[in-house]
Amino acid sequence: MPRIAYVNGRYVRHAAAAVHVEDRGYQLADGVYEVCEIARGFIIDETGHLDRLDRSLRELRMDWPLDRRALQLVMREVVRRNHVVNGLVYLQVTRGVAPRDHAFPTKPVRPALVVTAKRMDPRAAQKKADKGMSVITVPENRWERVDIKTIGLLPNVLARQAAIEAGAQEAWFVDPDGTVKEGASTNAWIVTADGTLVTRPADFGILRGITRGTVMKVADSLGLAVEERTFTVEEAQEAREAFVTSATSLVTPVVSIDGKPVANGHPGSVARSLRDAFFAIAEKSPSC
């Protein structure tokens, strides 16, 4: 059964799917994206992801490629055609195809849309969570508008590669004042000695993760306090627990930071309970 992708109005074989060489996403990273988790046949937190897509598009003065309802139908059709019950759906909108020029195209062009879906084995993700991940820290070197979910991810690519080469799985960007921003593709959290969850405020300087927002609701349902404030690498290394959140990793414990074990170097119980309770609290929209 071949994988199917949606590219600008057509459902095509994934292996043959292609965009124009002058797609502004391809040449200039002039585009935005979203990744939604698919779990047990449901799209998780679709409203939050599409609201954030709307914000990203507005911040970059780009139009929706289709209206919201039509995009939701395309997402479902791609999920259906790929028989994804557990996995993810990826959507990418670029400013469109135009002769290469840094300024916006003078003649209006239609934004370009690509939607793909991928099956993933939830047992493999659970295994990773049971093991926990190691993170390294890297100096923050991204632009200031990381609150927009753009496809311009070169610093994130290099940071993740540095993590892999160091035998870790994620890299946390750290400001010159020693405070943790977020991971290459995850938000960063710690649990303090008194059991309070701490994560950086998302007003600016990090992406406002949709999973981050849902985990706040999960924490509330479990009676756990959440504090939005900055924390340093040292505080994270001495914390009771640390973990990351994202649509692809949900809640995954961090067991070491720059080679220093967090607590006893094993996943903690708070991260585990947040992960276990996640699905019950998250928004679930049928994927077909």
Cβ 210 to ligand PDD, closest distance in Å? Answer: 4
Residue from the set 76, 200, 212, 275 that interacts with ligand PDD by CB under 6 A: 212
Neighbour tally for 172: CB within 10 Å = 26
> What is the C-alpha separation between 193 and 195, in angstroms, rounded?
5
Q: Which tokens is 254 given? A: 């961090």
Task: State the Cα–Cα distance between residues 24 and 4, nearest whole angstrom.
Answer: 23
Q: Does 158 bind ligand PDD (CB under 6 A)?
A: no
CA angle 74, 157, 178 (to 5 degrees): 120
Stretch 221-260: interaction string toward ligand PDD, x if CB under 6 A: ------------------------xxxx------------
Give the interface size with ligand PDD as a residue count (CB under 6 A).
14
Does position 35 bind ligand PDD by CB under 6 A? yes
| Shortest distance, position 187 Cβ to ligand PDD, whole Å | 5
Which among 21-29, 65-73, 202-210, 280-288 is the span making contact with ligand PDD, rule CB under 6 A?
202-210
Antiparallel, parallel or unpaired: β 133-139 and 250-257: parallel
Stretch near ligand PDD under the rule CB under 6 A, chosen from 93-101, 179-187, 255-263, 267-275: 179-187
Residue number with CB closer to ligand PDD (24 or 52): 52
Provide long-range contacts, Cβ within 8 A and 24+ apart, for 282-286. Answer: 282/44, 282/45, 282/214, 283/44, 283/45, 283/46, 283/47, 283/48, 283/214, 284/39, 284/42, 284/43, 284/44, 285/42, 285/43, 285/46, 285/47, 286/41, 286/42, 286/43
Decide: residue 214, CB within 10 A, 0-12 exposed, 13-18 middle, 19+ buried.
buried
Q: Which stretch binds ligand PDD (CB under 6 A): 99-107, 133-141, 183-191, 225-233?
A: 183-191
Query: CA 194 to CA 173: how far, in whole Å?
Result: 26
In the bound state with ligand PDD, the residue whose beta carbon lies nearer, of 111 and 209, is 209
Residue 155 in contact with ligand PDD, rule: CB under 6 A? no
Which of these is catalytic: 118, 128, 131, 149? 149
Residue 186 binds to ligand PDD (criterion: CB under 6 A): yes
Active site residue 260: no
Vertex 121, ends 116 and 123: CA angle to 5°? 150
Provide, rounded to whole angstroms, the least separation between the CB of residue 9 and ligand PDD: 25
Residues assigned a catalytic role:
149
Would you tell me which residues interact with ligand PDD (CB under 6 A)? 35, 182, 185-187, 207, 209-212, 245-248
